[in-house]
Amino acid sequence: MSWLSAFGEVDVDVGEQSPTEPAEAGGGDSVITVIVAFAANLLIAIAKTVAASLTASASMVAEAAHSWADTGNEIFLLIAERRSDRQRDTRHPFGYGKEAYVWSMFAAFGLFTAGAVVSISHGISELRNPEPATDFVIAYAVLGIAFVLEGISFTQAFRQTRRNADRLKRRHLAYVLNTSNPTLRAVFFEDAAALVGLLIAFGGVGLHQLTGSPVPDAIGSILVGVLLAVIAVVLINRNRRFLIGEAVPTDYRNRVLVELLSSPEIDRVTYLHLEFVGPERVFLVAAVDLTGDDLEHDLAVRLRRIERLIEEREAVEEAVLTLSTADEAPLAPS
């Protein structure tokens, strides 16, 4: 079954690996990444809320809203991991993989509304009705602790994405943007945004203390909101594309085509469609010309047997093969 080796490498970014090795380090690592992020964000959200109430800092209020949004989002991401991992059934022949994109979409909308909208609106409110902040030491202490905890969470996400990107021989950021694993992408970008947001909050609080004016603090709140809005829009767009049907990239399609053509039972491939139906899961449709000149019944049996062989690969949710006609031009890797 060596000719099926390509089907163990499904993702938007693919590279060399063994036939039995999945494209990524599996859902287990993703769940751990989400749990680490949830624990960190919960502790941070509580600390920031207390600090915001004590200091009256606009940037701290924005950061508290940010962390509560992230905490809620991790719950959505955990649901995404759990529900999308269910086996397909008669009502869902392509499995439940796309549920990952649905729940990740909810998380992205939560980041936009509970994080971005609250932060921007509070910053604008502070510009209109400025309120001096107090107890700056508390703000600095909480922001420092938050930076450490967010750094731990981001390190977990960074290590997993870096490991996967290196295995697939892809650029790190390109891998994160294009991976079919939405929970991994969400945690990575949310944690990265959290670290940048903390730096903005440090600047806002610091300038508030130095100048005595709450304006920099309010601007910091608005900037945090804008940052969260940008991240949310990116995540929403990526999940939207996978929900409506994201085809695999050309390099992976070429690899699968070459593997199909290397089969001793396949003479030509005249049509090939590969589409994501979940994280690291694809639906494969191909029109092939089998070797030999078997009777119709025997050809049907051979087609079904090849389909079952392909579907044994963890990356393939379903494979459908049909027979090519004589007038159809054969496909070649582009």
Which two structure tokens, joined as six digits, stand for 88? 């397909």
Q: Strand pairing of 281-290 and 316-323?
A: parallel
Q: Which residues of 191-200 are buried (b: 16+ CB within 10 A; e: fewer)?
A: bbbbebbbeb
Identify the helix (H) or strand (E) that includes residue 13.
none
Assign domain 250-323 to its CATH superfamily: Cation efflux protein, cytoplasmic domain (3.30.70.1350)
Residue 6 in this model has a pLDDT that exceeds 70? no
Residue 7 in this model has a pLDDT that exceeds 70? no
Dump the DSSP string for 179-215.
-S-HHHHHHHHHHHHHHHHHHHHHHHHHHHHHHS-SH
108: which residues sit within 8 A by CB, 6+ positions away? 73, 186, 232, 235, 236, 239
Closest CA to 318 of 24, 17, 89: 89
Give residue-wise pLDDT tens across range 36-88: 888 888 999 999 999 988 888 888 888 888 889 888 888 888 888 888 888 88
Q: Cα(264)–Cα(50) distance, rounded to whole angstroms?
A: 68
264: which residues sit within 8 A by CB, 6+ positions away? 3, 291
Phi, psi of 297 (to 5 degrees): -65, -45
CB distance 279 to 181 below 8 Å = yes
Q: What is the pLDDT of residue 28?
A: 64
Q: Cα(160)–Cα(132) distance, rounded to whole angstroms?
A: 42
Give residue-wise pLDDT tens across range 178-210: 889 998 899 899 889 989 999 999 998 899 899
Closest CA to 103 of 316, 279, 305, 331: 279
Residue 14 in this model has a pLDDT that exceeds 60? no
Q: Cα(308)–Cα(320) distance, rounded to whole angstroms?
A: 9
Q: What is the CATH number of domain 2-244?
A: 1.20.1510.10
22-26, 223-227, 232-236, 245-249, range with the lowest pLDDT: 22-26
Which two structure tokens, joined as six digits, stand for 135? 């107890």
128: which residues sit within 8 A by CB, 6+ positions away? none
pLDDT band with cut points at 50, 70 and 90 for residue 222: very high
Q: What is the pLDDT of residue 229?
A: 93
pTM of the model: 0.79
**At residue 152, what is the residue type?**
I
Residue 125 in this model has a pLDDT that exceeds 50? yes
Question: To the nearest whole percent, how much of the chain has pLDDT over 90?
Answer: 35
**Which neighbouring-strand residues pair with 316?**
282
Give residue-wise pLDDT tens across range 281-333: 899 999 999 988 877 778 889 999 999 999 888 888 999 999 998 889 999 88
Closest CA to 240 of 104, 89, 42: 104
pLDDT band with cut points at 50, 70 and 90 for residue 24: very low
DSSP annotation of 315 reads T
Which two structure tokens, joined as six digits, stand for 315? 């990356």
Give residue-wise pLDDT tens across range 232-287: 999 999 999 999 988 888 888 998 999 999 989 999 999 999 999 999 889 999 99
- The sign of the CA dihedral 77, 224, 65, 198 is positive
Give residue-wise pLDDT tens across range 155-164: 988 998 999 8
Dump the DSSP string for 90-135.
SS-TT-STTHHHHHHHHHHHHIIIIIIIHHHHHHHHHHHS------
Q: What is the mean pLDDT of the chain?
A: 85
Q: Cα(47)–Cα(129) distance, rounded to whole angstroms?
A: 25
Q: Where are the domains of the chain?
A: 2-244, 250-323
Question: To the nearest whole percent, how much of the chain has pLDDT over 70?
Answer: 92
